Amino acid sequence: MKPSVLQTLLEPAATAIAVHGKKQRKQQQATCTNNRRDGRALLPQEKCGRMPVLALALIFCVTVYLYFTTTTWTDTTQMIVTIPADDVDLPGPKDQIATKCTTKQQMQHPAAHARADEPQLTKTNTNRIIPIVPQTNATRSDVTTAPTNTTPVAIACTDDHRSRLGGNRTDQSVMSPCSTTAHPTDPNAPVPKGFLVWGPGCQIMDLDPLAKDVMRLFSKERFAPCSPKQPLTTIEQNFDNDTVLVRFHRELIESYMPHYMRYLRCCYQSIERSGTKDKADKNFWVGECIAFNESFLLPPSVRTGILVRCKAGVSEASKSKKAIYTNTHALVRPQAAVRERMDRFKGRTEKRPLSVLMIGIDSISRLNLIRAMPHTAQHLYDTGWFELKGYNKIDDNTYPNLMAILTGYNNSLAYSICNPKKVGQLEECPFMWKYFADSGYATAYAEDEASINTFNYHKYGFVAQPTDHYFRPVALAAEKNLSKKLKNSLTFCLGYQHYADHIYQYALDFASQYRNDPYFGLFWTNTFSHNDISDPSSMDQRMKYYVEQLDERGILNNSMVVFFSDHGLRFGPVRMLLTGWLEERLPFNFIWLPEWFREEHPEIVQALKINRNRLTNPYDLHVTLKHVLELSGRIDNLPGPLSCPNCQSIFTEMPWNRSCEDVAIESHWCTCSNFQTIDKRSAMVQRAVAFVIDYVNRDLQEHRNSTTSNYVCATLTLGSITLAKMAREPKGKLPYNDYLLIFEGKPGGGKFESTVRHYQHRDAFEITGSISRLNEYASQSECMHIDYLRKYCYCQRSKLF
């Protein structure tokens, strides 16, 4: 039974999980039928066999066992996260939110508790989610949710309405009395229930993370260790005197070596970055293999990482030796140049510089963090992290959203100033880590899954190493040499650990190495979240453990920690739901500030509490990082983000009336407007879709010579329109209307989502942002060499003349 639990115990970083696992097991042992959550791990015979041998009981047990192992068991033990009320720690009267446009039932519980009870949520219909697809009757949808003239998803009262009803209304009237002419007029009014952001320029709805439609696509996954074996070698780094002990666990040899083999030979190789020009981020170098047969100290010259290999044979002389163990260990060892740079700033100012750790997980929306990683989310809520609920992405995928944080550039500006498709250009970008390094900080960057790394996927990456500590060479060596377990086509396991564990271990080592110095680190993982909404659930306890480690090691006393994502899941069945539309655009974002920093800056704490319910974006985060640097007193007057002049530090209160337009978020990516379903057969919708298809075909046509020879992209034609919606502009009358369209193209069955703007005066259309592709297309589009055109291109053999 215990392989999983035992193994977690054995893994270096798993005590918390093991404890949790034990608790669960106790409950499970109570009865025979209780083992359903873990049918395979706990054979019923084991327990039932100890009872008097009653054949009947045995048959019963076996039946139950078979039932629960053969039916797909959806784990009903979904943990419900208790989210603190928005006004919980703001000055002024509390619980105002509950007085607004809610049922009597909800009034009795504060907003936070209303959430904690799923049946109640569905009963009161607060966070209803309307599936966008299938939508067979467009005219119907207005009626399905609520009486006409109400927002289709979440309804809020006007200020007028609220005051008329008074502070202690007890009537049961819920949604219907609320009018959509609702317009926020009071900056100090609390955010009404059903919304995350509530201002005149932006109203972002709050959906139920556990709504039925999305839960149908979600299943909680168990944590499974990557290997039943403990690694034969581990690293013990002493951060005080820069020594690294490689511990050789001789006692484990038996579990690795076939019993008939007697001879074992182990050696390690130093891993280093290698290669020049376009190969700089592709190649790595491994040194001579140096033999060892016991624990030893690594020589000072080995600084980046090591590759360890062991071979076994029947005797020393035997020709056929078997590789029985391969592993890599990444190192964060101090560097003289970094020390020198730091010393230059020592004692210059009295202020204690704040370190920064950015820990990012790809493709996790705020709602999916709460859904798939509830223990982690609850821990963040319980320990005083600041949340940015209205953190809206600014572009489609990882690269532009991270570039906005790291450089303040949008995609087109970044491509024109520091084109990652030209060798050696990327480092021309004014990356955040350069500013930090120039101010005497140590810097690090690590990411998993080398082939899709942010700066390398269809790009050349860095010729000059970007940060003082750079994980990529070790990642390349490890991926080449270690065994892998794929999950949803990503390297979930790499060697004896989850790939993400390699990254988090590196982050902990980095922060520990520089615990007495200022540092800036970016640690990014793709492998347990990029392709599926359920995958992150297996890492929930693990992630919580790492957050606790940050605390235990004192890192939370030194650092601002930004725990965040770039966007939600971008494709797949979830994207066909309204929640998928919202989640793609609203990644999670939590910020930690050390106690001493909060005490020094009460105004920042106050601003963060307010900004929890304001529209924010990656450019704001960019300004915030520069703000952190300026607060160190080491540098001043840093430039703002070029692509968003109105963006500002999250440490200052965001204007209540912010809109996407103000902060460089194009309509297609903006979650501020409410959309209302319209008749997809209407002339306007037909024209708008025709415009999009024409736009795509023109783009393909212009780049027809960018395909593999003998291949062309098929001309896109309309299959069917799945959905048409029109934005209700929060700001009122505008010279344009925005239409949200989802349609299927032919050939290839591509599902596309576009937000098209129509200017009434000129009767002209415009694509906002870019066009999203909602289903996967990888193999259809291999002939196209231009990234963004792949999602449109259906490759066909061209006719031979």
Binding residue for ligand NAG, selected from 72, 136, 188, 320, defined by CB under 6 A: 136
Size of the site for ligand NAG (CB under 6 A): 29
In the complex with ligand NAG, the residue whose CB is nearer, 143 or 690, is: 143
In the complex with ligand NAG, the residue whose CB is nearer, 127 or 643, is: 643
CB 135 within 8 A of CB 160: no
Binding-site string for ligand NAG from residue 378 to residue 417, where x marks contact by CB under 6 A and - marks none: --------------------------------x-xx----
Nearest one of 689, 694, 661, 697 to 756, comparing CA atoms: 689
Binding residue for ligand NAG, selected from 234, 274, 512, 657, defined by CB under 6 A: 657
637 belongs to the binding site for ligand NAG (CB under 6 A): no
557 belongs to the binding site for ligand NAG (CB under 6 A): yes
Residues 478-517 close enough to bind ligand NAG by CB under 6 A: 480-481
Q: How far apart, in whole angstroms, are the C-alpha atoms of residue 623 and residue 620?
A: 5
Given the rule CB under 6 A, which of 132-140, 274-282, 438-446, 510-518 is the region that contacts ligand NAG? 132-140
Given the rule CB under 6 A, which of 96-104, 235-243, 383-391, 522-530 is the region that contacts ligand NAG? 235-243
Nearest one of 580, 554, 558, 561 to 569, comparing CA atoms: 580
Q: How far apart, in whole angstroms, are the C-alpha atoms of residue 512 and residue 297?
A: 19
In the complex with ligand NAG, the residue whose CB is nearer, 139 or 176, is: 139
CB 796 within 8 A of CB 713: yes
CB-count burial class (<10 Å; 0-12, 13-18, 19+) for 56: exposed
CA 716 to chain centre: 32
What are the backbone angles phi and psi of residue 502, rounded to the nearest 5°?
A: -60, -45
What are the backbone angles phi and psi of residue 677, rounded to the nearest 5°?
A: -65, 135
In the complex with ligand NAG, the residue whose CB is nearer, 49 or 735, is: 735
Nearest one of 125, 171, 123, 119 to 145, comparing CA atoms: 125
Given the rule CB under 6 A, which of 96-104, 135-143, 617-625, 744-752 is the region that contacts ligand NAG? 135-143
Binding residue for ligand NAG, selected from 10, 642, 718, 786, defined by CB under 6 A: 642
Instruction: Using the structure block, give the residue that is written with the tokens 């390349």.
Output: 476
3-state secondary structure of 295: coil
Nearest one of 122, 102, 111 to 210, comparing CA atoms: 122
CB of 358 to ligand NAG, least distance (A): 21
Binding residue for ligand NAG, selected from 74, 243, 488, 710, defined by CB under 6 A: 243
* Rg (the chain; Cα; Å): 28
Q: How far apart, in whole angstroms, are the C-alpha atoms of residue 28 and residue 68?
A: 14
310 belongs to the binding site for ligand NAG (CB under 6 A): no
188 belongs to the binding site for ligand NAG (CB under 6 A): no
92 belongs to the binding site for ligand NAG (CB under 6 A): no
In the complex with ligand NAG, the residue whose CB is nearer, 117 or 787, is: 787
708 belongs to the binding site for ligand NAG (CB under 6 A): no
CB of 480 to ligand NAG, least distance (A): 4
71 belongs to the binding site for ligand NAG (CB under 6 A): no
CB of 560 to ligand NAG, least distance (A): 14
Given the rule CB under 6 A, which of 110-118, 238-246, 363-371, 583-591 is the region that contacts ligand NAG? 238-246
Binding residue for ligand NAG, selected from 45, 137, 185, 383, defined by CB under 6 A: 137
Q: In what helix (H) or strand (E) does residue 322 lie, and over which residues does it extend?
A: strand 322-330
Residues 314-353 close enough to bind ligand NAG by CB under 6 A: 323, 326
CB of 325 to ligand NAG, least distance (A): 10
554 belongs to the binding site for ligand NAG (CB under 6 A): yes
Pairing relationship of beta strands 490-494 and 484-487 according to DSSP bridges? antiparallel
What is the token pair recorded at 672?
Answer: 């501020």
Torsion sign across C-alpha atoms 444, 449, 450, 454: negative
Residues 204-233 close enough to bind ligand NAG by CB under 6 A: none
Residue-by-residue DSSP string for 569-611: --SSGGGGBHHHHHHHH-B-EEEE--HHHHHH-HHHHHHHHHH
In the complex with ligand NAG, the residue whose CB is nearer, 288 or 763, is: 288
Q: How far apart, in whole angstroms, are the C-alpha atoms of residue 672 and residue 29?
A: 49
Binding residue for ligand NAG, selected from 167, 299, 300, 639, defined by CB under 6 A: 167
CB of 557 to ligand NAG, least distance (A): 4
What is the token pair recorded at 493?
Answer: 């396991």
734 belongs to the binding site for ligand NAG (CB under 6 A): no
Q: How far apart, in whole angstroms, are the C-alpha atoms of residue 535 and residue 527?
A: 9
682 belongs to the binding site for ligand NAG (CB under 6 A): no
What are the backbone angles phi and psi of residue 543, rounded to the nearest 5°?
A: -65, -45
Q: How far apart, in whole angstroms, are the C-alpha atoms of residue 89 and residue 587?
A: 23
For the chain, the residue count is 801
640 belongs to the binding site for ligand NAG (CB under 6 A): no
Across the beta sheet with 233-238, what order do the strands follow?
A: 233-238, 243-248, 296-297
Q: How far apart, in whole angstroms, are the C-alpha atoms of residue 663 and residue 671?
A: 13
Angle 588-331-264 from CA coordinates, rounded to 5°: 120
163 belongs to the binding site for ligand NAG (CB under 6 A): no
Binding residue for ligand NAG, selected from 70, 72, 168, 516, defined by CB under 6 A: 168
Binding residue for ligand NAG, selected from 72, 172, 315, 705, defined by CB under 6 A: 705
Binding residue for ligand NAG, selected from 95, 142, 272, 662, defined by CB under 6 A: 662
Q: Name the residues that contact ligand NAG, by CB under 6 A.
A: 136-137, 139-140, 166-168, 201, 238, 241, 243, 293, 323, 326, 410, 412-413, 480-481, 554, 557, 596, 642-643, 655, 657, 662, 705-706
